[in-house]
Chains A and B, each alone.
Chain A
Amino acid sequence: MQYSVGVLLITFLGSLAALGLFLWSMSRGLFGSGEGAGRVIFAQREVGLVEDPAAGTAAAEERLQDVMNRTGHTGEFSVLTPEEADERAHLDASSRLPVLLALGGAVLWLVIASVFGLIASIKLHAPDWWVEQPWLTFGRIRPAHLNAVAYGWCSLAGLGIAIWLYPRLLRTPLVGSRTAAAGVALWFAGTTGGIAAILLGQSAGLEWLEFPWQVDVPLFVGGTLVGVALLRTLAQRRVPHLYVSVWYISAGLLWLPILLIVAKWPGIHFGVQQAAMNWWFGHNVLGLWFTPLGLAAIYYFLPKVLGKPIHSYHLSLVGFWTLAFFYSQVGGHHLIGGPVPGWLVTLSIVQSMMMIVPVVAVGINQHRTAHGHLSAMRHSPTLRFIVLGGMMYTLASIQGSMQSLRVVNTTTHFTHFTVAHAHLGLYGFFSLVMFGAMYFVMPRVLDWEWPYRRLIALHFWLVVGGFAVYFVGLSIGGWLQGMRMLDAARPFMESVTVTRPYLISRSVGGGFMTLGHLVFAVHFAAMMLRRGTRREGATLLRRPDRLTPRSAMPATPEPA
């Protein structure tokens, strides 16, 4: 016990020192440039102009602009010149192929994963339903759901948005569009193989790492190909500053292959050591892959839609480095009370609490940026999803830090409470942000309006309402389950019976979420088939009267 306290104190002081060092180097400009970098996502005099291609009509985008003008952020003197608009249209066009492949694949997996999830959920309160087929048993459908969500939906959506963001953030057309497209295709193929393996009973047996290692090879190569295309684009960039979203995406693309190689290398991990590795991976794939991709999207779309630079660029960098440092060590809190070395668990608990630093940094930044303009959410579908997703990020992270405390963890560990928490992060935060980003990106990629605006609203309310039911119910059920389990005077079966109504409510909520995803998928397909009307007016970047020959583009855009 003395030893544990010592480790706790040392890691705490070490972490504080590291944080201080980062802050100091930041103030000395060692880790990036100042506030100017926050304006790099805007054209020279664009700050003040809103942009949301999902707003629907020119009139709708006009209303969004009105809100911003009224709430003290006027775009009266702002302009996006025809040349700048044309340049941006060229940039958006450069990534069309891989972006469409990735986002299309993501939506396909979203639907499949939702159906898997719903089946798994129902099976927990109807255990004799669909039991004759091995591939449909709970123990296979449930990991198939998780992996289809993580590697199918979330990763492909994140990759698609990252590929689309790079040319815009670097003001450089995507270099190697086909390389990236091949990478996306390989990733899709690898995921398909992995899900098939799980359903056929060939799981590798580790949570978050169920894919057999042979299947991870195409995933690894695919991710690397996308990374190569983005790296080549980065090398040819024409911006003076690297925007924070570039930091997040680049670091994520650097971290993921390392995580995969260390975790999947056959034959080196054993017993309890493998359990520690398992949760080093399980938490880092969230913290160093999905979180950076999600935050990169928020840091771009929130200011871009509002036409207002992020509140504090420095703070966003503090958030980046502290996230990387603290989040990468929290995995051990999944093994509290387990047969692992005490110092490992203690280290992870300390760093879980330190996670409050990056979370507050991101939260304050988002809040200060959107503050006073929340009515803009009414006119911008993108903003609605992104702002809500950002709030869920803060909630999920604070909840995660609390859950790592031994007193809380003892109750919530091994229960459905943890499952609810996982969904707050990967669904409430990440998936909502991806929905918002996709509503913004698709009209730019296809030069086409979202055909049915009401479907966007329907999608929003179905998934938000469904998720509220899912999360609240399952959290209560999980907590009660934990309380019953800790009470030795009660038979174990009571911890099962007490959850049943909440498991049913989870199926109801999950049903609404699935329905929302079907609405989204249908709308997405209609968009791809170019149903509805051609785009018009202000939401169209590349108007015929704005088109200029490519050679007329400014060679180097001026720094803001």
Chain B
Amino acid sequence: MTGRHGEVGVFKLALGALAIIAFATGALVVLPYFTLHGVEAPAGLEPYTDAELRGRQSYIANGCIYCHSQQPRDPSVAPDMARGWGRPSVPGDYVYDRPHLLGTMRTGPDLFNIAVRQPSRDWHLGHLYQPRAYSPGSIMPAYPYLFERRRGPAVPGEVVVTLPPAFARDGERIVATQEALDLTAYLLSLDRSYPVRTVTP
């Protein structure tokens, strides 16, 4: 008797456990898959270029997502718009995003529209090299490994970072690597100021 009773227990346990995970997967994975599958890119949104995609990989590799979100919220929830972070994002804005980079932390500001607030490549390069040169009090890490310190005569084609005088060193110039240029290209692509139809959830 005991054996049979046990068998039924194991079978029911497995069945119940599978049914529950199937239900949750259906609700949180499969349903969103079908409801969001047909979403099209808004007219003003361009696919990323190759350089921007390389920069996006660099954004992932260096973990920008652990401090920066990419999802401005509705004004009824939080003053994201008032901070200049842009209108509330809609699913269509993310059509070209694989993987998604919505983020869960705002140790630093939201970056979904950073190109609107900071359209200057020079600013971004300098800020990546030394955030505190531009934003006193910032706790963002410096990324000197995305740059090279060079001396001697200038090489044609190199992109030299212009730092504020207090942070520049005589006889040395800071040259952006290709990765820094790509990452900046990606940051400058983050502009979702085009109009979208507001959908009611």
Closest A residue, CB atoms, query B101: A205
A331 to B29, CA, bound (A): 10
Chain B, 27-63, contact with A by CB distance < 8 Å: what is the 0/1 string? 1110111011101000000000000000000001111
Interface presence of A559 (CB below 8 A): yes
Which among B2, B32, B104, B109 is the interface contact of A334 at CB below 8 angstroms?
Answer: B104
Is B137 in contact with A493, judged by CB distance below 8 angstroms? Answer: yes
Knowing A125-B139, A133-B145, A273-B32, the reply to whether A410 touches B78 (Cβ < 8 A) is yes
What chain B residues lie within 8 Å of A274 (beta carbons)? 97-100
**Residue of B whose beta carbon sits closest to that of A133:** B145
Report how far A124 CA is from B63 CA in the complex, Å. 14
By a CB distance below 8 angstroms, the chain B residues around A206 are 99-100
- Interface flags for A265-285 (1: CB within 8 Å of B; 0: not) read 000111111111111100010
Residues from 113 to 159 in B contacting A, C-beta threshold 8 Å: 131-132, 135, 137-145
B99, A204: Cβ atoms under 8 Å? Answer: yes
Q: Which residues of B contact A342 (CB under 8 A)?
A: 201
B63 pairs with A33, CB closer than 8 A: no
A242 on interface, CB distance cutoff 8 Å = yes
Which one of B23, B95, B138 lies within 8 Å of A127 (CB-CB)? B138
A272 and B38 CA atoms in complex are apart in Å by: 12
B166 at the interface (CB under 8 A from A): no
- The verdict on A340 contacting chain B, using a C-beta distance below 8 Å, is yes
Distance in angstroms between the alpha carbons of A327 and B109 in the assembled complex: 31
Contact of A32 among B9, B37, B63 (CB under 8 A): B9
For B17, list chain A residues within 8 Å (CB).
250-251, 254-255, 324
Contacts of A12 in B (CB 8 A): none
Instruction: State whether the Cβ of A414 lies closer than 8 Å to any Cβ in chain B.
Output: yes
Judge whether A4 and B28 touch: CB under 8 Å.
Answer: no
Tell me whether A496 and B201 are in contact in the complex, defined as CB-CB below 8 angstroms, given that A127-B131, A131-B144, A132-B144 are known contacts: no
A241 to B102, CA, bound (A): 47
Inter-subunit contact B62/A139 (CB<8 Å): yes
Cβ-based interface call for A341 (8 A):
yes
Residues of the A chain whose Cβ atoms lie less than 8 Å from the Cβ of B138? 127, 493, 496
Instruction: Check A344 against B27 for contact (C-beta < 8 Å).
Output: yes
Known contacts A272-B100, A337-B74; is A250 also within 8 Å of B21 by CB? no
Complex interface: stretch among A96-104, A436-444, A484-492: A484-492
In the complex, B197 has a CB within 8 A of chain A:
no
Would you give the 0/1 interface string for A397-441, flagging 1 where the beta carbon is closer than 8 Å to chain B?
A: 000000000000010011110110000000000000000000000
Q: Which residues of B contact A503 (CB under 8 A)?
A: 139
Verify if A288 is at the interface (C-beta below 8 Å from B). Answer: yes
Name the one of B13, B74, B105 contacting A250, with C-beta atoms under 8 angstroms. Answer: B13
- A20 on the B face (CB < 8 A): no
Q: Which of B10, B39, B60, B73 contacts A242 (CB 8 A)?
A: B10
- What is the chain A residue whose CB lies nearest that of B91? A272
Task: Please tell me if the beta carbons of B29 and A272 are within 8 angstroms of each other in the complex.
Answer: no
Residues A262 and B29 in contact, CB atoms below 8 Å apart:
yes
Q: How far is the CB of B201 from chain A (nearest CB, A)?
A: 3
Which residues of B, 58-76, contact A by the 8 Å Cβ criterion? 60-67, 69, 71, 73-74
Check if B90 is an interface residue, CB within 8 A of chain A.
Answer: yes
B residues less than 8 Å from A416 (CB atoms): 107
Q: By the criterion CB–CB under 8 Å, are A414 and B77 in contact?
A: no
Interface string of A1-45 (1 = CB under 8 A from B): 001100000000000000000000000001111000000000000
The docked-state distance in angstroms from the alpha carbon of A190 to that of B94 is 31
Given contacts A125-B139, A204-B99, whether A134 and B201 have CB atoms under 8 Å apart is no
**Bound complex: CA A4 to CA B200 (Å):** 11
A341 touches B18 (CB 8 A): no
In the assembled complex, how far is the CB of residue B52 from the closest CB belonging to chain A, in whole angstroms?
Answer: 15
A137 touches B143 (CB 8 A): yes
**A41 to nearest B CB, angstroms?**
16
What residues of A have a CB within 8 angstroms of the CB of B71 in the complex?
A: 337-339
CB distance from A1 to the nearest CB of B (A): 8
- B16 CB to nearest chain A CB (Å): 7
B107 touches A124 (CB 8 A): yes
With beta carbons under 8 angstroms apart, the residue of B28, B94, B131 that contacts A280 is B28
Q: B31 to nearest A CB, angstroms? A: 8
Determine whether the beta carbon of B73 is less than 8 Å from that of A131: no
State whether B62 touches A242 (Cβ < 8 A). Answer: no
User: What CA separation (Å) do A123 and B98 show in the bound complex?
Assistant: 29
Please state if A201 and B61 are interface contacts (CB–CB under 8 Å): yes
7 shortest interchain CB distances as A-B pairs: A139-B63, A342-B201, A201-B61, A328-B24, A271-B94, A488-B79, A414-B106
Interface residues of A (CB under 8 A from B): 3-4, 30-33, 123-125, 127-128, 131-134, 137-140, 142-143, 201-207, 234, 237, 239-242, 247, 250-251, 254-255, 258-259, 262, 268-280, 284, 288, 321, 324-325, 328-329, 331-332, 334-335, 337-344, 347-348, 410, 413-416, 418-419, 485-488, 492-493, 495-497, 500, 503, 559
13 contacts between A and B (CB under 8 A): A132-B145, A143-B66, A205-B65, A255-B21, A271-B97, A271-B100, A274-B99, A277-B29, A280-B25, A280-B29, A328-B20, A332-B28, A492-B83
